[in-house]
Amino acid sequence: MASSSFSHTPITVDKVETKYRKIITQIPVPESIPFIERLYKLESHSMHGQMPIVWDRAVGFQVYDKWGNKWIDFTSTIFVTNSGHGNPRIIHALENVLKKPLLHTYTYLSEERIEYLEYLIENTPIQFQKAFLLSAGTETTEVALKLMRLNGEKYSPNKKVVICFEGNWHGRTLGAQMMSGNPAQKSWMGYHDPNIIHLPFPYPWIMESEKEPRKFFRDSLNAVCAEKGIDPQKDVCGIMMETFQGWGAIFYPKEFVHEVETYTKEVNALLAFDEMQAGFGRTGKLFGYMNYEVEPDILCCGKGVSSSLPLSLVLGSAEIMDLPDIGSMSSTHSANPMVCAAGLANLKAILEDGLLENSRRFGLLFHVELNKLLNLFPDHIYLIQGKGLIAAMIFKSKAGEPLSKLCDKISELCLQRGLLVVHTGRDSIKLAPPLVITKDALLEGISVLKESIKDAIQVI
C-alpha cells in the first residue's frame, strides 16, 4: 500500500469521454472530500493515503463514482477481482445464498462448503488433495508455517528452520511478518524467531553478474547456514516463496526455483508458495508457480480466490493437511457459505469462461505494449517485469536512483484521466486489469499510461 498521500484539493482537469472512460468533474470530486474527511476522523491512520476516489459501483473492468466519472481499472482492487468486478456468476451465486438465507455456519456443515471443496480439489493439480479455508491471506501463510513445522517434527523435534527470501512479503500477522523480508516493517516486534532465516532474492540486476542461479542459491544458503550454525538435514523443515516478489512482480530464474525444489527433497523439507497475488489466473496459468514447472507441497491463496468476499485457502496433500489435530486449526469466518458460493462461482468463471486464455493471450500483448514504453522512456523506466495480466514498471534514473515521486505523479495523472493503476508508494507502478478486460480497453489504458508518464516527466 502507498506510503505517500494524494492531494485532496480538487483541480480542474481536461474532460474525458470515451467508450471506457469518463471524467466530467474536478478530481478529486469536490463532493467526495467530505466523505474522505469523515473517514479520516474515524479510521486508523494506516488506512489513509489511498487514492481520493469514492467507488460507487464496479462492473467488469470499470469503476464508477456517484458523480458521473468512470475509470478503466488496472488494479483489480489490488489483485482481487480476477474474474471481473461484480462477475454475474458470483452475483447469482450470492443471491441464491441470500435468498435462503444462510449467512453463517462456522462449525456446522453446509452444502455450499462441500460443493466448493469438491470443485476446487477436482480442478487443481493432483498433489492437492485437501484444503483449509480461511478469510485473510496472512492466515494462510501462518498456517503454512505451522504445517511445515509440524511436518518437520515427524523427523526431529528441532527440525524447525523455515527459509524465506529477502524482499518477499507474506502478510501482517506476526509469523507472516517474520517470514517477510522487509526489516523496516519488523522493528516494532522486538523479537525475531531465530528459526526463520532469509536468503538473498535473485533480482535480475544481481543475476546479471551472478549468471548461475543454481549456484547463487546454494552459495547463499551455505553461507547463511554456516553463519547461523544450521544443519540443513537436521534443522530445515520448509521453504516459503512468494511466487513473484510483489512490489516489482519480479519472478525468480526458473533454474533457481528448480534448485530450491531439489534442495527441499534432499533435506525432507516442504516447499510452500505464497500465491496471493499470483494465483487464480493472474499470470496466464491457474497458479503462478506453474510458470516454473515445479510441484509445491503447500499453496497459500487469497485475493483472486473469490474475486470478491473474504476467502483465502491453503492447499496440500492429505498427509500434510491432516497433520494438525481436530480443532487445532480454525477461524470463525472460515468456510462461510457466502464466501464458498463466491469461491465456487469465481473458479468456474476462471476455468469455464476462457479467463485463463484471456490472461495468457492479452498478457502477451500487454507486455509487448509495455515494453514499447521502456523504449520510449529509457531514462526513467528501468525494468518491466511480470507475466500474463500482471506487470510492474520500475522507475529509476540513469544514476540508479529510485523515482518514487515520479510514480506518485504518474498514478495521480492516470486517475485524473480515467485509469486506475496500483500505486505502490515506492519506485514501481503495478498494473493488473481484471482478466475480463477487452483488447481495446487494454490498449486504451496503456495509451493513457503513456501520456501520463510523458507529462509526469515534464513536471517532476
Ligand X SMILES: Cc1ncc(COP(=O)(O)O)c(C=O)c1O
Cell numbers for 194: 531465530
Instruction: Find the binder of ligand X among 29, 117, 240, 276 (CB under 6 A).
Output: 276
Distance from C-alpha of 161 to C-alpha of 270, rounded to nearest angstrom: 11
Q: How far is the CB of 248 from ligand X (least distance, A)?
A: 12
Binding to ligand X (CB under 6 A) within 165-184 occurs at 169-171
Query: Could you give the string, one character per residue 206-245, with x where binding to ligand X holds by CB under 6 A and - elsewhere?
Result: ------------------------------------x---
Residue 274 interacts with ligand X (CB under 6 A)? yes
Which DSSP string do the residues of 301-342 spell out, in sequence order? E-GGGTSSSS-EEEEE-HHHHT-SPTTSS--TTTT-HHHHHH
The binding track of 292-331 with respect to ligand X, each residue x by CB under 6 A or -, is ----------x-----------------------------
Nearer to ligand X, 83 or 452 (CB): 83
Asked whether the CA dihedral 415, 285, 316, 108 is positive or negative, the reply is positive
Query: CB under 6 A: which stretch of 24-32, 108-116, 273-281, 432-440 binds ligand X?
Result: 273-281
Find, among 347, 355, 281, the residue nearest to 308 by Cα.
Answer: 347
Build a one-symbol-per-residue string for 241-270: x at contacts with ligand X by CB under 6 A, - elsewhere. Answer: -x---x------------------------
Please identify, using beta-carbon distances, which residue of 28 and 386 lies nearer to ligand X.
Answer: 386
Neighbours of 255 (CB within 10 A): 16
Q: Report in angstroms how near the CB of residue 304 gets to ligand X at its nearest.
A: 11
| Minimum distance of ligand X from residue 359's CB (angstroms) | 18
Q: Which of residues 246 and 343 has its CB atom nearest to ligand X in the complex?
A: 246
For residue 262, give the nearest of 231, 291, 221, 228 by alpha carbon: 221
Task: Give the containing element (helix H, strand E) for 349.
Answer: helix 337-352
- Contacts to ligand X from residues 120-159, by CB under 6 A: 136-138, 141
Q: Is 343 in the site for ligand X (CB under 6 A)?
A: no
Is the Cβ–Cβ distance between 86 and 460 less than 8 Å? no
Helices 88-99 and 337-352 pack at an angle, to 10 degrees, of 150
- The values of phi and psi at residue 120, to 5°, are -60, -50
Which residues are at the interface with ligand X (CB under 6 A)?
136-138, 141, 169-171, 242, 246, 274, 276-277, 302
